[in-house]
Amino acid sequence: MISHLEKRVGVVRFPGTNCDREVYGWAEAKKYQVDYLWYQDRFEIKSYDLVIIPGGFSFGDYLRSGALAARSPVMDSVRELAKSGREVLGICNGFQILCEAQLLPGVLVKNHTRRFIDKIVEVVVKNPRRDYSEKAGQKFNLPIAHGDGRFYAPPETLKSIHGEGLVWLQYEDCPNGSIDSIAGLFNKEKNIYGLMPHPERALYSWMNHSVVADGQFHLCGWDFI
């Protein structure tokens, strides 16, 4: 496992990305080395251990959410980086982009409520990641803010998702109609993962998450990256 000080993080920026600074601040707070990565540029994959695709409305969600971003030059490098076994994390729109880029199975479609949902929900860890502190069955209260958050995969894909234990997070009370309440997912190699909730918005206790109780500024109970 890479120690905290050695970890080098890249944060991808597309036109319309709006959670990049939170993610950057979050990596900085953990004393990681952080860089922004521009969507039109390819990057040297050896320079990063983890690439994060933050939330937002890349390309204004035109065509389909994440569709245009998934076909940007930076994604060639992300694909290459993932192939080399390094980690890729997609949050919210980042998750949609990873699905559109076929780096994760399935797709995210309009919420069954037809509305944008913005609230705090409880998610439970179904399968924990390697090398991270989370445990199966652990619960977190995390903010969600999405219009297209309903996870859909055809039956045969869904069968393999469950068969291979690729479900990372599930909603306790599904807000958006996601199939099997899926909130987060891995790829088969478990080095690419995406989730709809925004853990970067639950970084500090004043950001209204419920993990810490003393009201001090510190990282949320979930040692996320």
Tell me: does residue 93 bind other proteins (CB under 8 A).
no
Q: Which amino acid is at 39?
A: Y
Tell me: does residue 156 bind other proteins (CB under 8 A).
no
Q: Which is nearer to other proteins, 63 or 207 (CB)?
A: 63
Q: Which is nearer to other proteins, 9 or 158 (CB)?
A: 158
Tell me: does residue 154 bind other proteins (CB under 8 A).
yes
Q: Which is nearer to other proteins, 132 or 152 (CB)?
A: 152
Tell me: does residue 103 bind other proteins (CB under 8 A).
no
User: What is the x/- site pattern for other proteins, positions 183-222, by CB under 8 A?
Assistant: ----------------------------------------
Is 198 a catalytic site residue? yes
Return the closest-CA partner of residue 132 out of 175, 193, 178. Answer: 193
Radius of gyration of the chain (CA): 16
Residues that bind other proteins in the complex, under the rule CB under 8 A? 63-64, 67-68, 71, 100, 106-107, 109-112, 114, 152-154, 177
Q: Kindly list the catalytic residues.
A: 92, 198, 200
